[in-house]
Structure 1
Amino acid sequence: MKGYIYLTLLFVTGMWAASPRPTDIWVVRDARALQLYDKYRQPVPQSRLALYPPYSPWMIVERDVVLADGFSRVSRVTDFDETFSIALNDSGNPRLRYGTSLFFFRNCFPEKDTLRTRASGPVRAGNISANPRQALTGGEYLPPGEVIRLLFRYKGYLYAWQFSRQRYIWIAGASRRYLEKTTLESRSRKRPTLFVRDLKKRVREYNTKYRLLAEHLQNKGAAPRPVPRWILIREEKLWRLTLERPELAAPFRQTVRLFLKEMASWVESYGYTVNRQPAQLIIMERHSG
C-alpha cells in the first residue's frame, strides 16, 4: 500500500459566501490537467490537484487578467474555499496539460445549503455533463435520506455534491421541494464544504493553535519544548491522521487523547467510519457504489 504525506499548513485566502449576483463557472473533469497557481503565484502541485474529485467547479472571480509581464493571462477563481489563478490560452480558455472534459457555465447563482431528500417525493440525479437536461434524462433517483450539498444554480438546474457516493451531480431545480434542511451543518463549527477540505482545515487550525501557545509560553520564559503536530497521510481507501513525531504521544497523552476523541466525533458526523487508536485516527472511505 502506497501512501504520501500531505501536510496541512496551507493558508486559506478567502472564504466563499453566497452572492445574489450571477457568476460564471468552469468545471473540469480532471483538475490535474489545469495549470493552477496559488496566491503566491506558485504552481499547485499535482499531488494536491489529485485531491479534487472529478468535475470540481471553479467559480470565476475575474475572467481574464493580464499579469505584470504584459502577455500572460489568467482567470482568478475560487474552489468555493481558496482563491487560485488558472492559466489561460490565447482563446481565453484554461490552458490544459492534456485533454479532459471542460465545461463553461454562464450566469450561475451560488448556493450554500446542505439538504436531505424527503421520503415523500422523487429527486432525480444525473452525471455531470455540459447539458444538465440531457444528463437527467438518463439519471437515477436518489434514495430517501440522501444528503447533498448545493454548489450553484444554472438555469433551472442545481449542481450538487452527493456525500454518500462522493461525486458531483445535477438535479432539477423543481426537485428542491422534495429536499429538507439537514442537521449536518450544525455538527461542525465550519460550514461543510468537501469533507477532505474541511478535515485539512481543522487539522491546520489545531496545529496553529498549539504552535502559537508554545511560542507564547517561551516568550514568558518557559523552556523550549516540542509541540504535537498532526499530519494527514493518504493511503489507498483511507486517510491516516497521525503525529508527525509519534514519540510525542506519551508526554502529551491527555492532549492527544482529547484531540482524537473530538476529531472522531466530528468525522463520524459526516457519515465516515473511524478507527481511533492511541496516537492516530484511521478514516475509511465510504463505498461509492
Structure 2
Amino acid sequence: MIEFKSAEEIARMAVTGQFVGELLAELSGVAAVGVNLMDLEHHARRRIAERGAESCYWDYAPSFGRGPFRNVLCLSVNDAVLHGLPHDYVLRDGDLLSIDMAVVIDGWAADSALSVVVGTPDPADLRLIEATEVALEAAIVAAQPGGRLGDISAAIGGVADSYGYPVNAEFGGHGIGRTMHEAPHVSNNGRARRGMKLEPGLTIAIEPWFCRSTDKIKFDADGWTIRSADGSRTAHSEHTVAITAAGPQVLTRRPAHGRTPADPASRSATAS
C-alpha cells in the first residue's frame, strides 16, 4: 500500500533529510587515505545519537543478509556497491567509497547515498560516479506530478546507456516515509509513460547505481555486501524526493559548502 504524505508530513521528512544530507557531506570530508571504515561508522553513530535520531539500518533484517544489520552506515569500497558491511579496513589511495545512510527523526525517515574517491582519482572512476549523479538528477527532473513511475526509471536507464554502463534492475529505489522501505519499487531501468501515476504526496528514494562493466552481482560471505560479479568498480548516488504540485522536492540535498562528489578536485583531497 502506498501512503501519500501531506505538505506538513513532507516538511517533517525534510527536517530528517537535511540532517542526512549534512552528515553525508561531513562523512565524505572525513573519508581519506588512512581512515578506517570503522572510524566513519563510529563518527556517524555519535552524530546520530547527538541529534536524537535513530538509524534505519540498525537491526534491519530483510530476506537477504545474514542476521540483523548492526551498523548505521553502508560502506561499500571499489567493486562493492550496496549494503557494504563496515569492517576493519583502512582506506587506500584511489579507493572508490560509497556511503549510504538512512535515519528517522520524530517518526519520519530520509535516505541518501554518495560516492567519492579518496586520494588519487582514476578518471574512469570519476566518470562512473558522474554517471550516477547525472542519472539521479535526470530522474529527479522526470519525477513530475502527472507523470509515470516509468519516466523516472527510463531517465536513469537512458543516462546509463549514454555512458555505456549496463543496468541491474534487481535492486533500486523505493518508497519512503514512516519507514525506510515502502512501496513502490523504483527500478533503475524501465519504459517512459508506464507504471503508476506520480501524484503529489508520493515520497521516494531514487538511487541509481552502476557497475562499470557488468549488470551481474554477487554477495559476500557476510550475506550483506553486494559486489559487481566481474570485480569492476561501482558507484551509487541517492536522494529522497517528494512529488509536490509544484514539482519534485529533494529532501536530502547536501550543503553546497561541503565536499562535493561532482567536483574532481574534492575527490582527490584528503581531510584536513
Question: TM-score higher than 0.5 here?
Answer: no
Larger Rg: 1
Which protein has the bigger strand share? 1
Q: Indicate the structure whose relative CO is greater, using CA pairs within 8 Å and at least 6 residues apart.
A: 2
TM-score after normalising by structure 2 = 0.29
Which protein has the bigger helix share? 2
TM-score after normalising by structure 1 = 0.28
